[in-house]
Amino acid sequence: MESTLVSQGLDLLLYGMGTVFAFLTLLVGVTSLMSVIVNKLVIDEPEIAVSATAAGSVQSTVEPRIVKVIQAAIDQHRGKK
């Protein structure tokens, strides 16, 4: 029973690390391949895409009403001068 426990632990180590390494190694390949294929299929300028993503996510996660308020605040400020 006790020795079974140790052998179970060894099994877990072997099959576990085996699976983790096999899966993540496979994922390295799949990811690299995916990037190549996707970037061939989709015509998409990377730099612009990245900055667009960044800007887009800021713009989209800030709700329009907040943008509106800011605009209003700035307009008001400009008007006050």
Partner 1 sequence: MESLISLWASSGLAQMQFDQLIMMIVGLGLLFLAISKGFEPLLLVPIGFGTILANVPGAGFDAAPVYDAMGHMQSPGGLLYYIYHGGIETGLFPLMIFMGVGAMTDFGPLLANPKTLLLGAAAQVGIFTTVLGAVALSHFGILDFSIREAASIGIIGGADGPTAIFVTSKLAPDLLGAIAVAAYSYMAMVPIIQPPIMRALTTPAERQITMQQLRPVTKAERIVFPLALLVLVAMLLPDAAPLLGMFCFGNLMRECGVVNRLSDTAQNALINIVTIFLGLGVGSKMSAEKFLNPETMGILALGAVAFCIGTASGVLMAKLMNLFAKHKVNPLIGAAGVSAVPMAARVANKVGLESNPQNFLLMHAMGPNVAGVIGSAVAAGVMINLVGGM
Q: Radius of gyration over alpha carbons of the chain, in Å?
A: 27
Compute how many residues bind partner 1; rule: CB under 8 A: 44
Q: Report d(CA 42, CA 48) in Å as an integer.
A: 14
Token reading at 69: 């308020």
- Backbone phi and psi for residue 65, each to the nearest 5 degrees, phi listed first: -65, -30
Q: Does 66 help bind partner 1 (rule: CB under 8 A)?
A: no
Q: Does 27 help bind partner 1 (rule: CB under 8 A)?
A: yes
Residues contributing to the site for partner 1 (CB under 8 A):
2-3, 5-6, 8-17, 19-21, 23-28, 30-32, 34-35, 38-39, 41-42, 44, 46-47, 49-50, 52-53, 56-57, 60-61, 63
Residues near its own copies (CB under 8 A):
58, 61-62, 65-74, 77-78
